Structure 1
């Protein structure tokens, strides 16, 4: 399937590792010019080298703290300055820490919302005029399946993720006339550095595949997902192949979520 991404310009936040890095690699492999951002310069440079090694494409790296609106404006401006336009934004920056309601203090609430919700707001607001000028674009907000059905002691992350879903739906209605599509992917259990550390601490005698099946017994597909599987869905959603898909939430969870 031709995705129509050659020559498109994409910004991916939280792209130094995990789903963000896998998405940047996939976009670059499909011919897009990619800008990656995160808070740490050294990990960004390592990510850029990984992308170059895998795809043969250089990417622009911009050190960015998405909790700061001026940083978000800067990464968008640098992308347009470098490549002349902007077509795609993937709002991936975030963490997955969760606690009970009584354990979460006011500063924790604020920092989580700043990172996961306001980061997406700031980057999207900066990106939209350039997408309109380019004739349209696509935004994907990376959220989580638990934002739909929050379990016990899952705060503040499930609240931030639920807000991200609402933002996606409302934005899609407001910017559709600009030919900009906005969707969200709701992530389930996906391989990450955190999960790999847990694997090495708990079951170093198992291979990754064995550990994945062990932990994923309660998941209908029977395993932990790979970052590339999430990246494939995100790449589809920002591509021409999804040109009539907007305002929707797609679960990437192996069938584990109780909600559609």
Structure 2
């Protein structure tokens, strides 16, 4: 299937590693022009080099902090100056701080909301003037905890839920401009954090053995791969999903308790 991504210009935050990096590689393979964004410039340079070796294409990057409004503006300005337009914004920057409510300081709430919610807002505000010129797609990465928060998941599950509400609201507000807004809710996907957990809990097991441990209670029987997440994300921002907006798709192997 032709996803219609050739020559589309995409900005991906949090893309020096993990799902963001894999999505950048896949969009590049599909012919998109991708700008990687993260705070760590060395990590960005390594990601750009890895993707170049894989695809033969040279990518652009911006070292920036999306919690700062001026940095968000700098990112979008770079995209337009480099490629002349913007078609896709993927908000992937984020972290997971989860604790019992009584143990969470007010500063923890502020830091989490600054990155997950206000980071999205800064990027969307900066991107809108360009996206409104020809339409486009915004994709927000959140977690299944945003739909069904477990115990001891403050503040991350609360900020994730706020992001889902923002996604749905924006899908209505921006539809007249042909700007689609969707989200994906990530479950257990192989990442540096999961691999560290594997080495701490069961270093004697292979990754395949660990990923299929029944304790994870995943109906599909295994932890997912970053490529599997990137496949869904790439579809949602592509022309192939031109009639999809305002939805939040679980990428969790069936473990989510809510649609």
**TM norm. shorter chain > 0.5:** yes
Rounded Cα–Cα distance in structure 2 between residues aligned with 1:167 and 1:56: 37
For 2:92, the equivalent position in structure 1 comes to 92
Rounded Cα–Cα distance in structure 1 between residues aligned with 2:97 and 2:209: 25
Residues 215 and 103 from structure 1, CA distance in 2 versus in 1: closer, same or farther, beyond 3 angstroms?
Answer: farther
Q: How does the TM-score come out when normalised to structure 1?
A: 0.98
After superposition, the CA RMSD in angstroms is 0.8
For 2:94, what is the secondary structure of its paired residue? Answer: coil
Matches within 5 A, 1:203-242: 203-214=202-213, 217-242=216-241
Rounded Cα–Cα distance in structure 2 between residues aligned with 1:161 and 1:223: 24
What displacement does 1:217 show?
Answer: 4.5
- Mark the runs of 5 or more structure 1 residues left unpaired by the alignment: none
Offset from partner CA, 1:69-106 (integer Å, 9 cap, x none) = 11011101101100000000000000112101011101
For 2:146, the equivalent position in structure 1 comes to 147
Rounded Cα–Cα distance in structure 2 between residues aligned with 1:81 and 1:255: 42
CA contact (8 A) 2:97 2:112 kept: no
For 1:160, the equivalent position in structure 2 comes to 159
Rounded Cα–Cα distance in structure 1 between residues aligned with 2:166 and 2:77: 23
**Deviation above 6 Å: which 4+ runs of structure 1?**
none
For 1:61, the equivalent position in structure 2 comes to 61
For 2:249, the equivalent position in structure 1 comes to 250
Count of residue correspondences: 259
CA contact (8 A) 1:73 1:126 kept: yes
Rounded Cα–Cα distance in structure 2 between residues aligned with 1:235 and 1:153: 32
Residues 50 and 194 from structure 1, CA distance in 2 versus in 1: closer, same or farther, beyond 3 angstroms?
Answer: same
Offset from partner CA, 1:154-178 (integer Å, 9 cap, x none) = 0100001000000000001001101
CA contact (8 A) 2:220 2:254 kept: yes
CA contact (8 A) 1:216 1:222 kept: no
